A and B are shown apart, each in its own frame.
Chain A
Amino acid sequence: MSDFGMSGDELEQMYQEVILEASKHPHGRESFAPNAAEESSGEAAANTTVRATHEYCTPGESHQFNPTCGDEATVHVEVSDDEPHTIKRLVWDGHGCSISQASLSVMVDLVDGKTVDEAMHLEQVFHQLMESRGAGLQNESLEDELGDAVVFQGVSKYPMRIKCALLGWEGLKDSVAKALAAKN
């Protein structure tokens, strides 16, 4: 029988310094989205959006929500109109556990300024890491590509928490797709 829990040492392994630090001091986080904990959040959601800062960019936005714990992330991306399409601005708003918050921060550091193709490739690699059940990618060059995001390898052991780590990345994938679709 598999053991989804952890010992004290494993707790330290999961909550690595990068994760605790990034969750306390998030990167790329701005205030623009509603909060599901509030009674009127349904109406607020229809009215919030960030204005694109680059005239030559198309914005895309995606709201991600985990109903079991209430973790929420709205990812706002601006993709350049000229090719290759590049992520010119990536910000998010939300709240949640340290894993989801840290993952969003690390994602921003990793993909902001990259081309859409590079970002989507990294999204796939990160997804693969999270599906590794703690084993990691077992591929050094892929792990190098992920940079700080490899610290989430410990999280991939815990099925209940994988969703937390993927929340922001799902938002990235969706918002980029929306931005690209809006160009046509």
Chain B
Amino acid sequence: MVDFKAIRDEFPILDQEIHGHPLVYLDSAATSQKPECVIDAEANFYRTINAGVHRGAHELAARSTVAFEEARAKVAKLVGANAAEGEEEIVVTGGATAGLNLLATAFGNASLGRGEEAAKRFALKPGDEIVVSRAEHHSVLLPFQELAYRTGATFKWIDLTEDGRVRTDNLEEVITDRTKVVAVTHVGNTTGAITNVAPIIKRAHEVGAVFILDACQSVPHLKVDFHALDVDFAAWSAHKMYGPTGVGFLYGKREMLEALPPANFGGSMVELAYMDHEAQYMAPPARFEAGTQPVAQVVAAGVAAEWMMNIGMENIEAHEKTISAELLKLGDINGIRILGPRENVDRIGTVAFDVKGVHPHDVGQFIDAQGIAIRVGHHCAQPVHRHFGLYASNRASSGVYNSVADAQALVEAAKGIRPFFGAE
């Protein structure tokens, strides 16, 4: 039995009052708070072993390199990826957005004929297709839409069901023999719906397409195993999984990473560089990690991954399930509509809602006055909101530190919104 009250106490930021009320933080889908051990890990790195990694021969450089690679291994373990030297499947990025752009840029480079023979599998030309879903965050939508514009490929998408789930009933229509890339979110960042990815991945592989998973909203909340899912690539950020901002990770099957041409060029990613002919690049993951890496943040992200595994992802998932059950009661309030699955099944504790007659900015202000932090706006997912006939919404999202009482506080506060604004 995990003591979630004790876990909450590990988050110093939560121990404060906002506008005279104890802080209730329900915006973890935007960014999670950080436990003491993660904050300490980052600070202690600077206090004790700060040095550049994979370069230099002095003792601190050796220690920081070991810490960096150990962190990579911890993160790999969290998502069921390989970490043995020469088999690494985790690339350090500047965040999920950076990872997805890295992929889109690398595919673009492959389309221009760059990379080895094996890179041809990523090459796109007019007539080829890129498929995403309407549930995508702009950080999936835009890099791959731009890639389509750059290469002349056709951009297509899988639509959503009425309650905001990615449809799987027409995959053969949308994903065809011409489809080369499929990129889909694991969990909708607005709807909280867990995508039934298995049939989509199966269909993508059937037609020989590369499958990319946006794992930003799944890795912090669910037990995720990329090998079991059989995804080719996956991107997510550290800051939503109790780690620092500014870092993220890109998973790639080893053979995929080996075939992928580089996207960013510079120091520490090249074996041999010349003036008069092309360079010879390093093996993955170094090939994709040009420039000085955010070492302290990666080390702290490794601590976050280990911390989550110590609690147990199954325990985290079960705990947050009790919070989503409570948050879904928002839908029982007169004039409030849940945007996403209303049943507490195949969803996480991210619950977006619309308050009839009250604009999200006003909702956010009203809720904030009671010390409760939720997100208002379009959550970087405008097409999802159009699906619901809206531009913006309100979103409450849970983390491991939330209690059922937090969700109850929001539901209670939400009852006062429409009366206060006199919504008819």
Contact = CB atoms under 8 A, between A and B. Distances in A.
Interface of A: 3, 5-8, 10-11, 14-15, 20, 24, 35-39, 68-71, 96-99, 158, 161, 164
B385 interface: yes
B20 interface: yes
Contact of B422 (A7, A24, A97): A24
A167 B190 CA distance: 27
Given A20-B421, A70-B392, A14 B386 contact: no
A10 B361 contact: no
Given A37-B391, A99-B361, 16 more contacts: A6-B368, A7-B20, A11-B365, A11-B369, A14-B365, A37-B390, A68-B378, A69-B361, A69-B376, A69-B377, A70-B378, A70-B391, A70-B392, A98-B358, A98-B362, A164-B361
Contact of B386 (A7, A39, A69, A158): A39
A3 B368 CA distance: 12
A37 B385 contact: yes
Interface string B347-387: 00000000000111110011011100000111000010110
Interface of B: 18-20, 358-362, 365-366, 368-370, 376-378, 383, 385-386, 389-392, 420-422, 424
Contact of B360 (A5, A8, A14, A69): A69
Is chain A's interface secondary structure helix, strand, loop, or mixed overall? loop
Given A37-B390, A39-B386, A97 B378 contact: no
A98 B389 contact: no
B365 A6 contact: yes
6 contacts: A5-B368, A5-B369, A20-B422, A35-B391, A68-B378, A98-B359
Contacts of B366: 11
A170 B400 CA distance: 43
Contacts of A7: 19-20, 369
A98 B377 contact: no
Contact of A6 (B19, B377, B385, B392): B19
Nearest to B387: A39
Contacts of B377: 68-70
Shortest beta-carbon contacts, A-B, top 10 = A70-B391, A97-B359, A37-B391, A97-B361, A11-B369, A70-B392, A7-B19, A69-B361, A97-B362, A5-B19
Contacts, number: 71
Nearest to B373: A5
Contacts of B20: 7
A69 B369 contact: no
Nearest to A41: B386
Contact of A161 (B19, B365, B378, B385): B365
A37 B19 contact: no
Contacts of A161: 361, 365
Contacts of B383: 39
Contacts of B421: 15, 20, 98
A158 B420 CA distance: 19
A10 B18 CA distance: 13
A84 B368 CA distance: 47
Contacts of A8: 19, 369-370
A36 B383 CA distance: 11
Given A6-B19, A20-B422, A98-B362, A69 B368 contact: no
A100 to B, nearest CB: 8
Contacts of A98: 358-359, 362, 421
A64 B378 CA distance: 17
A97 B391 CA distance: 12
- Identify which of B362, B368, B377, B389 gathers the most chain A CB atoms within 10 Å of its CB: B362
A164 B377 CA distance: 13
Contacts of B391: 35-37, 69-70
Contacts of B390: 37
Contacts of B368: 5-6
A106 to B, nearest CB: 17
A99 B360 CA distance: 12
Nearest to B370: A8
Contacts of A14: 365
Contacts of A6: 19, 365, 368-369
Contacts of A68: 377-378
A103 B18 CA distance: 28
Contacts of A10: 19, 369
Contacts of A35: 391
B376 to A, nearest CB: 7
Contacts of A38: 386
Contacts of B359: 69, 71, 96-98
A71 B396 CA distance: 21
- Identify which of A10, A15, A20, A97 gathers the most chain B CB atoms within 10 Å of its CB: A97
Contact of A37 (B18, B365, B386): B386
A36 B18 CA distance: 34
A133 B121 CA distance: 57
A4 B288 CA distance: 41
A14 B390 CA distance: 26
Contacts of A37: 385-386, 389-391
A45 to B, nearest CB: 14
